[in-house]
Amino acid sequence: MPELPEVETIRRLLGPQLTGKRIAAVRFGAKRVTMHPGPAGVRRQLLGAAISKMGRRGKYLVFRLSNGRDLVLHLGMSGQVRRFGNVPMQPHEHMRLEFSDGETISFVDARRFGRVCVTDVGAVPRAIRGMARMGLEPVEKGYSAAYLGERLSGRRARVKTLLLDQRVACGVGNIYSDEALHRARIRPDRRAGSLKSPEVSRLAAALGDVLTDGIRWCGTTMRDGGYRLVDGGAGSFQDRLRVYGREGERCRRRGCKGVVRRQRLGGRSAHFCPVCQR
DNA sequence: CGCATATCCTGACTGC
DNA sequence: TGCAGTCAGGATATGC
């Protein structure tokens, strides 16, 4: 479940380690993973290029290359960027970049919801249509109560469901949407259009705050270990979650005696405190 | 268009 | 202990 804070953590780790390095070899695993324009094309466009900058857009990791192209990586649910070194290809390892100085970096993804795409710099990857429609990130300047309000007003869908829409809250996924709604004291099953102006303001602020905190604590590594740092280490935001994954446990808001509940919403689980979230 | 639902995938977990 | 069944969810496709 790599969301914005997890991908940003990876970006920050990789930047100093990879910037300036030249790709000397590209290896692929045996299993198919969504890749544009296919393994041969990806290899051709990557070979010989240097990493000029590590970027990120929403949940997408963007390797800017010296040859005028971007390598765009989405980690899906279980994707990881890992360093294995010069060893045989590992289980679920789909792509390994070998740099001219011997450094390596690998894309690993057991569930294969992730995707790899090479495009011209700044172009919208054909294989990733949603990227063209992504909105502002809650941590960006310009993400305001007015901006969020525009996207929620008149909508009958549950607010939680809309927060998962990358046009509404780019970079937010299931964990951080639950945490933001808790901080804003709004129930996830509220109809988006029913939110009053102070609630929209609280939510816009909470979204930014929770993503910023997630980055500060290097992301959330749940028990399934789906998200890992490049060296295999864990983030630590899981210790600070207030509702996500805490069904049946006490609400973490000071003075609140509520017990966290879980509710199925749009095929996703929403965690919330029925006492302090209205 | 908006909204709900199904789909992909496999490791971890649950219950018998 | 082993095995079948269920769950997890990001993005997208499909149906109404």
* DSSP states along A178-238: HHHHHHTT--TTSBGGG--HHHHHHHHHHHHHHHHHHHHTT----TT--S--TTS---SGG
Least trusted range by pLDDT, from A56-60, A218-222, A266-270:
A266-270
User: Are both A127 and A208 inside the same structural domain?
Assistant: no
State the pLDDT at residue A13.
96
Does residue A264 have an active-site annotation? no
Residue A131 in this model has a pLDDT that exceeds 90: no
Residues A10 and A116 in one domain: yes
- Please check the confidence at residue A67 and state whether its pLDDT lies above 70: yes
Whether CB of A31 is under 7 Å from strand B: the answer is yes
| Residue A178 within any structural domain of the chain | yes
The residue annotated as part of the active site, out of A27, A53, A252, A268, is A268
Active-site residue flag, A59: yes
pLDDT tens digits for range A196-250: 999 999 999 999 999 999 999 999 998 887 899 999 999 999 999 999 999 999 9
Whole-number pLDDT of residue A126: 65
How many Å from the CA of A192 to C1' of B7?
26
Taking only the tens place, the pLDDT of each residue in A85-127 is 999 999 999 999 999 999 999 999 999 999 999 998 877 776 6
Residue A199 C-alpha from the chain's centroid: 25
Average pLDDT score, chain A: 94
A113 touches strand B (CB under 7 A): yes
Number of domains in chain A: 2
- Asked if residue A263 has pLDDT above 70, the reply is yes
pTM for the whole structure: 0.96
Do A51 and A12 sit in the same domain of this protein? yes
> Residue A50 is part of which domain span?
4-131
Of these residues, A56, A59, A187, A202, which one is catalytic?
A59
User: Tokens 């963007």 sit at which residue?
Assistant: A62
Strand B proximal to A247 Cβ, under 7 A: no
| Whether the Cβ atoms of residue A186 and residue A203 lie closer than 8 Å to each other | yes
Q: For residue A79, what is the domain's CATH number? A: 3.20.190.10
